[in-house]
Chain A
Amino acid sequence: MTPEEQNFMRKIEAEEKIEPKDWMPDAYRKNLIRQISQHAHSEVIGMQPEGNYITRAPSLRRKAVLISKVQDEAGHGLYLYSAAETLGISRSEMIEQLQSGKAKYSSIFNYPVLTWADIAAIGWLVDGAAIVNQVSLQRTSYGPYSRGMIRICKEESFHQRQGYEAMLALAKGSPEQKAMAQDALNRFYWPALMMFGPHDSDSAHSQKSMEWKIKRETNDDLRQKFVDQTVKQIEVLGLDHPDQAIKWNEARGHYDSSDLNWDEFWSVINGNGHCNRQRIEHHIAAHDEGEWVRDAITAYNEKKRAKKAQQAA
């Protein structure tokens, strides 16, 4: 090990944060860029399925809550892009990678949002799963990412409470509303569990990420936490648990549950879910349509600068 590497590993072991100007191994940098940009893209693509219901929200209050939630997601996308930029990649490069399919985003957003209850389920389960992961990432070894997570977690837990409260209103509402809630739970429960990624044994990036303390807990451990916390929440709603095999295991101190449909997981990851194509096309269309606007800003700023220079001369 070079002295630089030794110093780096010493910091990691001592739980000191790595900061943008510090020396870091190339693979650490690459791994972080991959993870943070994927996280940023997830926030941004996640705006689509939820945004899809802004214009149809069933009450003005719910509409306002949903708009501010989607707006928060955009804000999270921004902090995360900025955090990744500290590692030497630009936002436009990241967007390019998203649009070309080189960079991934959370597969959950490739599932269609069909009913209002899906919006509630996303807030409750998807933001709930995200928080389990992000709470753990507050202790990640890279300073800007860790600080971003601390900030984001506060907002996500607010979203999760809003989502659960919206779900509760449905579950305690009319029979049709309750059926809508059950249907959304049945569809979003499994993909929410898949958000934690493949089993540890199948996870390409896990081991090194754990060693460098980019990730602090394994996919399976985080998933178990989420399974455990969700059982009681479903009971309070008075809905049926989608997993008939769910069972408390006294010896483990955790719930046992069914294995996931990994064929579906890989199929969606590889771009073949219900909405993969639609999400990327939407992003590209909005980006392309915005090009003349971005060009206008550049042209305007150049004109102003030229005018200023002329005045100064």
Chain B
Amino acid sequence: MSEAIKAATLEYATRLGDDSVVLGHRISEWISYGPFLEEDIAYGNVSLDYIGRARMFYTYAAELANDGRDEDDFAYMRNDREYRNLLLMEMPKGDFAYSQVRQLFADVYYTYVLPELLQSKDETLSAIAAKAIKETKYHLRRSRDWVLRLGDGTEESHKRTQKAVDALWGYTHELFDMDETEQMLADAGIAVDVSKLRGAWLAKVTEILTEATLTVPADDWAVRGGRVGYHTENLGHMLTEMQIVHRSFPGCKW
């Protein structure tokens, strides 16, 4: 592996780890707050899958960095300006409709990203994708079912769900952005060229939203910046909470 490829792969693994840990954390905020007990369990499952992915991506990043850091240094010792997650993942949990719509957008995204990542020439990334694909199948089944039920449920659930779709839509565009680092890795057959996936994503999301009697918003606004550390205000608060214990006892093992 050339030094340039190695550095870019380290950055890429960190980004994917950040996406996973942030979304996993947000989902975990639902535990004991769900509409019924079965949902607390389901949220626990999905959250665990993402925390698991984060650990694998960070462990790989740490291996590439080879500077004595471990997975927890990546998760707990970087500030919000250093985090590289997509903004969609850091949006607060909101109401049940908001979280399920975000989940649908993410699940459809991973439905198309992971099979591509499985083809990566990087064996570790490919192996992580292989495991994650199975999880995402189940995640999508669940978020799709929820969006259908909420969209085509009562007037109130419909209203809340449409509101969530509208509020989150502008954060979905950057899911398909490429920058130099990812382009270089995509050219080398390592990273996924996400710019090619928006068509498939949009078709699938449109199909589900339409079945749910919801309206697909116009593409008239987009907020970007996660991949360069230009976040919403939400991430700082989330990391403050997530990192407080770890950082209060520097150098300790848990």
Contact = CB atoms under 8 A, between A and B. Distances in A.
Interface in A121-177: 166, 169-170, 173-174, 176-177
A77 interface: yes
Give the size range of A's interface with the partner.
35 or more
Tell which of B31, B96, B150, B253 has the most Cβ of chain A within 10 Å. Answer: B31
A77 B249 CA distance: 35
A78 B54 contact: no
Nearest to B160: A292
Given A51-B32, A55-B28, A300-B149, A64 B52 contact: yes
A286 B71 CA distance: 33
A57 B245 CA distance: 7
B31 A78 contact: no
A113 B207 CA distance: 46
Contact of A67 (B51, B55, B154): B51
B36 interface: yes
Nearest to B47: A67
Contact of A297 (B21, B32, B149, B160): B149
A62 B152 contact: no
A295 B150 CA distance: 9
Given A55-B241, A56-B242, A300-B148, A292 B154 contact: yes
B33 A67 contact: no
By secondary structure, the A interface counts as helix
Contacts of B203: none
A60 B153 contact: no
B143 to A, nearest CB: 14
Interface stretch (B37-45, B102-110, B126-134): B37-45
A290 B183 CA distance: 44
Contacts of B36: 290, 294
A260 interface: no
Interface string B155-173: 0110010000000000000
A295 B157 contact: yes
A282 interface: yes
Contact of B154 (A57, A71, A296): A296
B189 interface: no
B152 to A, nearest CB: 6
A70 B254 contact: no
By secondary structure, the B interface counts as helix
Contact of B253 (A81, A169, A294): A169
A188 interface: no
Given A174-B249, A286-B34, A292-B154, A60 B54 contact: yes
Interface in B183-203: none
Nearest to B74: A60
A30 interface: no
Contacts of B33: 286, 289
Given A67-B51, A296-B157, A54 B37 contact: no
Nearest to A291: B35
A167 to B, nearest CB: 11
B254 A296 contact: no
A299 B154 contact: yes
A77 B32 CA distance: 12
A68 B48 contact: yes
Tell which of A56, A74, A81, A294 has the most Cβ of chain B within 10 Å. Answer: A74
B37 A78 contact: yes
Nearest to A64: B51
A173 B252 contact: yes
A292 B45 CA distance: 23
B34 to A, nearest CB: 7
Contacts of A68: 44, 48
B104 to A, nearest CB: 15
Interface of A: 44, 47-48, 51, 54-64, 67-68, 70-71, 74-75, 77-78, 81, 116, 166, 169-170, 173-174, 176-177, 282, 286-287, 289-297, 299-300, 303
Given A60-B21, A60-B75, 18 more contacts: A48-B32, A54-B31, A55-B241, A55-B242, A56-B242, A59-B246, A68-B44, A68-B48, A170-B254, A177-B252, A289-B96, A290-B35, A292-B156, A293-B150, A294-B35, A296-B149, A297-B149, A303-B152
